[in-house]
Amino acid sequence: MMASPWGKKSRRSYLPVNGLPPLQSCLNKRAIWTLLWWLLLIAEVFIYSSYTILAHLCLVEGKLPFRSSSVVLCTEVLKIVLSIAMLLPELRRGDMTMPSLSNCLLFMVPAVLYCINNNLSVYMQVQMDPTTYQILGNMKVITTAVLYRVIIRRRLTIIQWASLTVLGAAGMFDSYGGMQTKGAWSGEIHLTVSGLIMMCTYCCISGFAGVYTEYILKKHYQTSLHVQNTLLYTFGIVLNGGVWAVQEAGSGKEGGESSGVFDGFTLYTWVIVVTQAFNGLIMSAIMKHGSNITRLFIISCAMLVTTLLSVAIFQLALNMYYVLAFVLVIVALYMYHR
């Protein structure tokens, strides 16, 4: 079940609004927040599904024309700008509580994990088609569920564990089918061995990062989400700036020409930066006021949207292994969320 988006209940009594009785006013506010919450979730489904499509539109002769660290660094900068902008009203009201130094340092762990994964996700686009990227990304369900059980002590039913087994089988079918297609992607399902290894690593890190981030966000629930995001993205800028500097130095040693942060950027690249910035902000809100289960539900829905976009934009040809994997994923998701 999806958690309430309002977090802890407020003890403040509601005053009449526009002549409405207090109870009716409270119900109207709750209905508005519920509607906004669902609109946020729907928007996140489309934002999440757009990433791999946009990344493939950026490819030039099968290669990315920009450095992964450049895109991630620009995204982190935009995230912190948006977080500070949303934090300013709280600063003016003076109702903001600053966390202690030890609590601030907790955000360094997810920042490192997200730094690794954000760069991995860029390179993975060359190793597989958009739909395979989304369907294999559902392995996050397995890693997240296991880590929920280990770290947050969240119990799963027998049916839910069975659904994870079905999901694992779906991943194997999709992987086998993807390896049958040789050569660079040209509108067909494809997956390389390197891409499969990268995806497994990505899903393990993603599961731990998601569970750990939810834990620290909710551990200090009264701390403003914008303050927590600002801390997380500050570490992210430092780490990704370091990755970019290392890549730049390595390029110089190999005799390559020095390039700027925006080298190879196109309109599609900037759309990726903007959408991924909002993706990070929305996911933080979901993990603070919802849960990682809500996040997995979004990822699964995004897979369906990505498939439709891939067929429409890239004339994606689906093979029988993918169709079987797709059906198994739907069955697994139904079993897990029923």
* Parent domain of 274: 22-337
pTM: 0.76
Give the Cα-Cα-Cα angle 38, 271, 187 (nearest 5 degrees).
Answer: 95
**What is the total count of domains within the chain?**
1
**pLDDT surpasses 70 at 25:** no
| Amino acid (1-letter code) at residue 199 | M
Closest Cα to residue 210, out of 273, 143, 303, 136? 143
In a domain, 156, yes or no: yes
pLDDT digits (tens, 9 = 90+) for 93-121: 877 777 888 889 999 999 999 999 988 88
8 A C-beta contact, residue 173 and residue 328: yes
**pLDDT surpasses 80 at 22:** no
> Rounded to an integer, what distance in angstroms lies between the CA atom of residue 186 and that of residue 59?
12
Other CB atoms within a 10 A radius of the CB of residue 244 amount to: 20
8 A C-beta contact, residue 138 and residue 100: no
Q: Which residues contact 61 (CB under 8 A, 6 or more apart)?
A: none
In a domain, 15, yes or no: no
8 A C-beta contact, residue 324 and residue 332: no
pLDDT digits (tens, 9 = 90+) for 187-245: 566 788 888 899 899 999 988 998 999 889 988 888 899 999 999 999 999 999 998 88
In a domain, 16, yes or no: no
Q: What is the three-class DSSP state of 20?
A: coil
In a domain, 7, yes or no: no
In a domain, 278, yes or no: yes
In a domain, 279, yes or no: yes
Give the Cα-Cα-Cα angle 159, 175, 149 (nearest 5 degrees).
Answer: 35
In a domain, 8, yes or no: no
DSSP 176-215: HHHHTS-SS-SSB--B-HHHHHHHHHHHHHHHHHHHHHHH
pLDDT of residue 149: 76
Confidence of residue 164 (pLDDT cuts 50, 70, 90): confident
In a domain, 9, yes or no: no
pLDDT of residue 234: 95
- What number is the average pLDDT over the span 280-308? 83
- What number is the average pLDDT over the span 173-182? 61
